[in-house]
Amino acid sequence: MTTVFSKIIAGEIPADVLYEDDICLAFRDINPKAPTHFLVIPKKEIVSLADLSDEDEAIVGRCVLVASQVAESEGLVGGYRLIANTREDGGQEVMHLHFHVLGGRKLGWPPG
């Protein structure tokens, strides 16, 4: 399935890339919901957390580690939120697994 994220991975759509390796890509959200808002996506096409297989464990672990490292490099020392919206009822709009990292201000609870 072709998504906006697969086009970003392929270089067909520009993105403000913060980090890239063979497994994942981190880039700024084009519609930020916090002073710092970036996404971390696996390069492998995985639809959502609900669609993970055992083989995806290392990929998801790498994405979470990259989220933490990029959050630190972005100065989110006071904390941040890591979100993976899953399927329609969970608010997922792009059907490619992605993690939102939001920070740079105090985040309220509950989120939505």
Mean pLDDT of the chain: 96
Long-range interactions of 14-17: CB distance < 8 A, separation 24+: none
100 is catalytic: no
Q: Alpha-carbon Rg of the chain, whole angstroms?
A: 13
Domain ranges in the chain?
Answer: 4-103
List CB contacts of 86: < 8 A, sequence separation 6 or more.
48, 49, 50, 92
pLDDT in tens, 17-43: 999 999 999 999 999 999 999 999 999
Query: DSSP for 72-104?
Result: HHTT-TT-EEEE---TGGGT--SSS--EEEEES
Contact 8, 28 (CB under 8 A): no
In this prediction the pTM is 0.95
Q: In the CATH scheme, what is the code of domain 4-103? A: 3.30.428.10
What pLDDT score does 94 carry? 96
